[in-house]
Amino acid sequence: MNIAIFGASGATGTLLTQRCLAAGHNVLALLRTPEKFPLRDQVHTIQGSPFDLTSVRQTIEDVDVVLSALGAKSLKKEDVLERAVPQIIAAMQETLSQAKPVRRIIVLGSAGALPTSLDKQPVWRRWIVQNIVYNTFLKWPVASQISQWNNLSRSKLDWTMVMPPMLTNDPARGSYRTDGDALPPNGSRISRSDVADFMMQQIGSAQWVRKGVYISW
């Protein structure tokens, strides 16, 4: 397949790119500085910004699937998803009336995107995570993920939002829990490698189309 990847240079995005290449797919990556991307010789790079509709249109032209690992790089108010996701959705929806529409998008989200995310956690943990983590330390990144969810759910696309808790750089275990309703009980972390593997699996699966899915060890 021809796969467009946004956020390919990030920690999870690089893993996604590696997995796509290993599976034999052609990868198009939108990058601000393609010359710094370690996999630049193996992918088709497009220089530009995900905030620019023209660059996004060029990236998704004639692709089969869109993957996004975009997100905040700090705890500050960055508005990356607030600015980029509407551009990606707009560009994809423009193709829906064309001979080859680009409908499928799989994005990296966060377990904090929905108010029901902690429903299966013990009461004490629910209070700590909601009030200290989500409402304080991760206030702005969580706000961005809420925005991403709202924009995708209002779109006409075949979207899937993969929602892990804390991401680690540990090796993939190859086994994890998924849940469509809330974060699995006591689920607190998962490796980027396992998340990248799961996101790749969604390319050919309709199980979580137009849905969010929580994933954790």
Compute the residue count for the chain.
217
Q: What is the pLDDT along the chain (217 residues), one digit of tens a residue?
A: 999 999 999 999 999 999 999 999 999 999 999 999 999 999 999 999 999 999 999 999 999 999 999 998 888 899 999 999 999 999 999 999 999 999 999 999 999 999 999 999 999 999 999 998 898 989 999 999 999 999 999 999 999 999 999 999 999 999 999 999 999 999 999 999 999 999 999 999 999 999 999 999 9
Per-residue pLDDT at 129: 92
Q: Which residue is listed with tokens 């869109």?
A: 66
The SS3 of residue 7 is: coil
pTM for the model: 0.95
Neighbours of 50 (CB within 10 A): 23
Structure tokens belonging to residue 31 = 């990058």
- DSSP code of residue 130: I
What local confidence, expressed as pLDDT, does residue 76 receive?
Answer: 86
Helix (H) or strand (E) holding 128: helix 123-128
Domains of the chain: 2-216 (3.40.50.720)
